Structure 1
Amino acid sequence: MKLGEALMAAQARIAAISDSPRLDAELLFGHVSGLGRAQVYARLSEAVDTAELARFEALAARRARGEPVAYLTGRRGFWNLDLRVSPAVLVPRPETELLVEWGLTLLAGRTGPRIADLGTGSGAIALALAGERSDARVEATDASADALAVARANAQALGLEQVRFTQGHWLEALAPHAYDLLVSNPPYIAHADPHLEALRFEPLTALTDGADGLNPLREIIGGARGHLLAGGWLLVEHGYDQGAAVRELFGQAGFVDVTTRRDYGGQERATAGRRGET
């Protein structure tokens, strides 16, 4: 079978569960063959090695069942990083890059800022911030030892081993009154949300709290001021329909300058608030 034919067959197989079946097929074949996408395109009329074809078709079948491409290839791009991922961690999403972009803006003008990423997963947010701010002291926490193993491996591969990883539940591992920025992408999907079925291959505890999706946000927002320096910021990701509830939580916790930003799809996606000077 020629490569172009194999890709078309995989694309048709994947189309029912993916918004980008052609891209998925190309990434999966690239993973099997070690070819970049440009090289794949250059070989569309060439016959595919039998062993490569078998491995590719096996991965395409798994993708057709809904398994994320990132788990099948073991890689995911985030910000300007190439990250290792596994089923132990949530697949980093493009909308979460808003936390990095906004976090860097909030840190502008601060020298040697201290940052903590709560529920770091693959380390995506912490490592992206550390890569942009070499003067920062960055810590990252997660309750999962398996997730921290993935994050540490990413830090080592990226040469960002200055990031300190600690196992702990949200704020537990943090020093008091020490941070310029706390940032988190916690599980915020409500337990009854039908979208969870499409995410069944990802770790459930990284997606939902088993309730209304706001419990981790309540805990983080309610306790964050005790870990921030005066004038420090808390920045969190949340669901598209949770902006009003999250702003209320920030207000109840005594934060000022509370603001919500929208993602590139126009949905309310992240909220930040500042601890006052007292």
Structure 2
Amino acid sequence: MADAETLGALLSWARSKLANAGIPEAALDARLLVEHVTQTTRLDAISRPERPVGAEERDLAQRFIDQRIAGKPVHRILGFREFYGLKFNLSDQTLEPRPDTETLVQLVLDEVRRVGGEGRPWRILDLGTGTGAIALALLSVLPEARAIGADISADALATAHANADMHGYGYRFEARLSDWFGNIDGRYDIIVSNPPYIREDDWRDLAIEVREHDPRRALVAGQDGLDAYRRLAAESSPFLSPGGIVAVEIGYNQKESVVGLFTEHGFRLKAHGQDLAGHDRVLVFAQETPREQG
């Protein structure tokens, strides 16, 4: 570390340390951490590898690399993560928005374009909003839409509100403290949620990056992982506008069970999507019409 006095040398040192510690994607994590510490870009590393690195930058890089080796996720170290082309600050009570969840955003937008277009004043309810990523990603594409991001955590809501303001959507986004529908009123064209869906018995088997750094209550949902879907299926209907949709993210093996729960409460599966690994990940439901029910 002492001789890592240039950007190129610091990157090489960081990659080597992470790789030797068995960190997956060591090269990517090293690049993200070093770029953040030195406020440089990938282009800088290519065009200016001789750029001097000061003692404070080296010390901070050392601290970040040590944290990553200890199991702290790289984006927790950075304090933010990109999602749907937007930057989202994180807190201890928010999940990291992950690329698979972009499937949920895209399926909702597909339905929007199919039934009415992006220019309508859509009303959106994001339950368990966390960083606000899903709601704010939708607002970034739907200029007349407004969203309520509901969460049981005041810390998460403060983070979501700050993210909304950071992107200029604060006037169209309301962060509301609510245990699911407990403090919600009105009707919505789009209800979205990436709810907890991990089984109790599976919690201890999760990777250390998840188990020790993501909020447990945002992940675990009872013995079978379906508690949140039971509430969403049973309680969504009174809050849904005519023709509205409910879109949820699911675990890779939960499609049949979640479809069954929503079907029991008068919904039909309208669309479904897979994640980057080809697993079932998103379900979109609509209410049955009287004719369809009969």
8 Å CA contact 2:38, 2:53 repeated in 1: no
C-alpha displacement of 1:236: 0.3
C-alpha distance in 2, partners of 1:210/1:250?
18
CA distance in 1, matches of 2:157, 2:191: 18
The answer to whether the 8 A contact 1:187-1:216 is kept is yes
Identity %: 36
Q: Any idea what the Cα deviations from partners look like across 1:108-128, whole Å, max 9, x if unmatched?
A: 215211110000000000101
Q: Deviations over 1:144-191 (max 9, x none)?
A: 000001001111110001111100011222224x11110000111112
Alignment-derived partner of residue 152 in structure 2: 143
- Tell me, yes or no, if structure 1 residue 14 matches structure 2 residue 24: no
Residue 169 of structure 2: which of 147, 160, 164 is its match? Answer: 160
The SS at the match of 1:269 is: strand
- Post-superposition shift, 1:275? 1.3
With normalisation by structure 1, the TM-score equals: 0.94
Match of 2:85 in 1: 80
CA displacement at 1:218 relative to structure 2: 1.2
1:1-278 counterparts in 2 under 5 A? 1=4, 2-15=6-19, 16=21, 18-108=23-113, 109=116, 111-161=120-170, 162-176=172-186, 178-193=187-202, 194-195=205-206, 197-199=208-210, 200-277=212-289
Tell me whether 23-32 or 205-214 shows the greater mean CA deviation: 205-214
Give the secondary structure class of the aligned counterpart of 1:192. helix
Partner secondary structure for residue 217 of structure 1: helix
Paired letter, 2:181: L
Per-residue CA deviations over 1:45-95 (Å, capped at 9, x if unaligned) read 444322211110110110111111112111210002111112221011000
Separation of aligned partners in 1, 2:80 and 2:44: 19
Distance in 1 between residues matched to 2:30 and 2:23, nearest whole Å: 10
Q: What secondary structure sits across from 1:231 in the alignment?
A: strand
Q: Is the 8 A contact 1:230 1:276 kept in 2?
A: no
| TM, length-normalised to structure 2 | 0.89
Residue deviations 1:1-52, cap 9 Å, x none? 2433332332233235643211111111111111122113333344432221
Letter of the 2:164 counterpart: A
Query: Structure 2 stretches of 5 or more lacking a match?
Result: none
Q: Which runs of 5+ in 1 are unaligned?
A: none
SS in 2 for 1:52: helix
Change (3 A) 1:17 1:219: farther
Q: 1:123·1:140 contact (CA, 8 Å) conserved in 2?
A: yes
Separation (CA, whole Å) in 2 of partners of 1:198 and 1:210: 21
CA–CA separation in structure 2 for the residues paired with 1:257 and 1:148: 30
What is the alpha-carbon distance in structure 2 between the residues aligned to residue 174 and residue 128 of structure 1? 21
Q: Does 103-112 or 64-73 show the bigger shift?
A: 103-112
Q: After TM superposition, where is structure 1 displaced by more than 4 Å over at least 4 residues in a row?
A: none
Assess, with a 3 A threshold, how the Cα gap between structure 1 residues 115 and 6 changes in structure 2: closer, same or farther. Answer: same
Q: Does structure 2 conserve the Cα–Cα contact (< 8 Å) formed by 1:230 and 1:277? A: no
**Counterparts in 2 of 1:55 and 1:242: CA distance versus 1, 3 Å:** same
- Work out whether residues 141 and 170 of structure 1, in 8 Å CA contact, stay in contact via their aligned partners in 2: yes
SS in 2 for 1:125: helix
Q: 2-side partners of 1:187 and 1:25: how far apart?
A: 30
Distance 1:272 1:127 in 2: 19
Give SS of 1:230's match. strand
Matches of 1:192 and 1:12, distance apart in 2: 36
Aligned Cα RMSD in Å?
A: 1.7
Is the CA contact (8 Å cut-off) linking 1:250 and 1:258 kept in structure 2?
Answer: no
Q: 1:51 to 1:137 in 2, by over 3 A?
A: closer
Are the aligned partners of 1:183 and 1:236 in contact in 2 as well (CA < 8 Å)? yes
Q: What residue identity is the alignment partner of 2:27?
A: R
Larger-Rg structure: 2
